[in-house]
Amino acid sequence: MKILVINGPNLNMLGQREKEFYGEMTLEQINGEVKKVASELGFDVEFFQSNSEGAIIDTIQGSQNFSGIVINPGAYAHTSVAIHDALKVVKIPVIEVHMSNVFAREPFRHTIITGRAASAFIAGMGYKSYIAALYALKLLLT
């Protein structure tokens, strides 16, 4: 089974930005941890990161060869009806993740648009939100 991990805007800056919310790990380090656990669960994993909404939508639309998606849409979670709509079209499980607890942060982060199109939503566990999403996909796919 192949899993697609999609990361949205500014997540390429992990390890440098707002360490109190996101920790010190870089996206590359997080991807390494995800790849290790994915392998243990019997998943092949592919990673995609973009700061561009259109590129994220194109990637979602091209995901028909995957068994599931883990997506951290970053700030687009609060604004993107277009990503929401793309996620609604795919017929595979989608787990939305956020490293910080978005509901414990600024009020504008409390509205989640994209998560409404996801099979499940995981937040507030740092990089382990991605790991939890892999386990959730394993449960949904077996």
Question: What positions carry a catalytic annotation?
Answer: 22, 98
Dist. CA 70–CA 97, nearest whole Å: 7
3-state secondary structure of 98: strand
Residue pair 94/118 in contact by the 8 Å Cβ criterion: yes
Burial letters 72-109, b for 16+ CB under 10 A, else e: bbbebbbebebbbebbeebebbbbbbbbbebeeeeeeb
